[in-house]
Amino acid sequence: RSTGEPTILVPRSKLTDREMIALYILGAYFSYELGLRDSPSVSRSELSSKLGLKPTVISARTSELKREKVIKSNKRGEYEILVTGIEDLLDSIRDKVGV
């Protein structure tokens, strides 16, 4: 989108909450790189409102993603993709979705 808001085209039923969160944060990174966002970071409240997930779910899944080194947290409640984690993330989703 020209607004810089990430859009996930994979059906929600095919992805876990963790994968949805990671893809949204990845989309924010690409939007930032294209000059459509002011920052590559995504807040917990943005994730919650855009993905329709409870803040407690966001906190739990982002903790997992940080432990797996897929995302990082620059400050409390703000998340950013780690470039080193992109390939493994996309490979696992590709295998699961069949793309």
Residue 86 belongs to a domain with what CATH number?
1.10.10.10
Residue 68 in any domain: the answer is yes
Residue 47 in any domain: the answer is yes
The whole-model pTM stands at 0.88
pLDDT at residue 13 is higher than 70: yes
Residue 4 in any domain: the answer is no
Residue 2 in any domain: the answer is no
pLDDT at residue 1 is higher than 60: no
Q: Are 53 and 47 in contact (CB under 8 A)?
A: yes
Number of domains in the chain: 1
Q: Are 14 and 40 in contact (CB under 8 A)?
A: no
Q: How far apart are CA 91 and CA 37, in angstroms?
A: 26
Residue 7 in any domain: the answer is no
Report percent pLDDT > 90 for the chain.
64
Q: What is the pLDDT of residues 28-62, one digit of tens each?
A: 999 999 999 999 999 999 999 999 999 999 999 99
Q: HSE (CB half, 13 Å, CA atoms) of 27?
A: 20
Residue 1 in any domain: the answer is no
Determine the structural domain holding residue 66 and report its residue range: 12-97
Residue 20 in any domain: the answer is yes
